[in-house]
Amino acid sequence: MDAEMGEFLAAFGIGICIVVLGAYMAVTGDARMLHGYHRAAVPAAQMPALARATGIGLAASGVGCMMLAPFPGLADALGTGFTDVLSIVGAALLVLGIGFALGAVIKFNGSLFSFGPAGVSAGASPRWATIGFAILICVVAVCATVVPGIMMAVSGDPSALHGYHLVNVAARDLPALARWEGGSMAVMGAGLVAGILGGMFGALRRPSPAWTKALTATGIAVFGAGLVAMLAVIVYFNGSLMG
C-alpha cells in the first residue's frame, strides 16, 4: 500500500468514526461519550439536548474530515477543480461542525469546561489544574503549528509540505508559497491557542465571563480561516490541492 492510499484510509477512517459517534449521540440523546468536564454543570433534563446538538456537530465535522481524504485517482477521474472544491468545502464543514459542537457545550454547560468539587487531579485545585492544563496544551499547539509556520515563512522553504502539494509549483514560486502557507499555518495555530485559552479560562468562573466566550468563538473563527487559507494557497500556487 503506497503512502497516498495510507493517508486516504487514515483520514477517511477517522471521519467515519467521528460520524458514527456523532450519529449515535444525536439519535440516542446519550451524552456519556462527552468528557465529564463538558457536561458537569448540565442538568439531567438537558443531557439529551446536549447530546443531540453535539452529535450533529460531530457528525458534520466527520463528514468534513472524510471530504478532505485524498482519494487516489479521484482528481484524474473527475478533475482537479472538483477535488479542490470538495477539499475546501470539507475544511469549512469540519470547522463549522467543531464550532457547533463546542457552542452547544458552552450553551448547556455554561462554559467549555466545568469541574466537580474534587478537582481534575489528585492534590490539585480545579483552578490550578485548569491553568496548568491550558498552558500544556497551548505549548503543544504552538510547537505543532505556530513555530513550524513561522519557520516556513521565514526560511521560504516549503519542503515540509507533502510532495503532491508542490508538484506543479514553479521553482520561482516556492518561496512565496512557503511565506503564505507558513503564515496561514501560524494564523491557524494562533486561533487554536485562543480557542483553548478561552475555553479553559471560562471554566474558572461561573457563569463564564463574556470575554472567555468571545475569545473561544474568535479562536474557532481564526482557526477556520487559517485552515481554509492554507488550502487556498496550495490551490493557487499548485493549480490544485493534490497536484
Contact (CB, 8 A) for 168 and 2: no
pLDDT tens-place string over residues 5-48: 666 777 788 889 999 999 999 999 999 888 877 888 888 899 99
Place of cell 477543480: 81
Distance CA 12, CA 62 (A): 9
Q: Which of 43, 36, 200, 198 is nearest to 118 (CA)?
A: 36
CA atoms within 13 A on the CB side of 119: 13
Show contacts of 2-9: CB within 8 Å, 24+ apart: 2/72, 4/70, 4/72, 4/164, 5/72, 7/69, 7/70, 8/69, 8/70, 8/71, 8/72
Cis ω before 148 (30° cut-off from 0)? no
Cβ-proximal residues to 140 (8 Å cutoff; 6+ apart), any chain: none
Give the model's pLDDT for residue 74: 61
Q: Which pLDDT tens digit goes with each residue over 172-201?
A: 999 999 999 999 999 999 998 998 888 777
Domain residue ranges in the chain: 1-109, 117-243
Are the beta carbons of 58 and 31 closer than 8 angstroms? no
> What sign for the dihedral angle of Cα 58, 229, 221, 112?
positive
Q: What is the per-residue pLDDT across 61-108, written as a single tens digit (0 to 9) for each?
A: 999 888 877 666 665 566 666 777 777 788 888 888 888 888 888 888
Q: Identify the CA nearest to 216 among candidates 197, 201, 195.
A: 195
| pLDDT reported for residue 118 | 37
CA 46/CA 190 separation, integer angstroms: 33
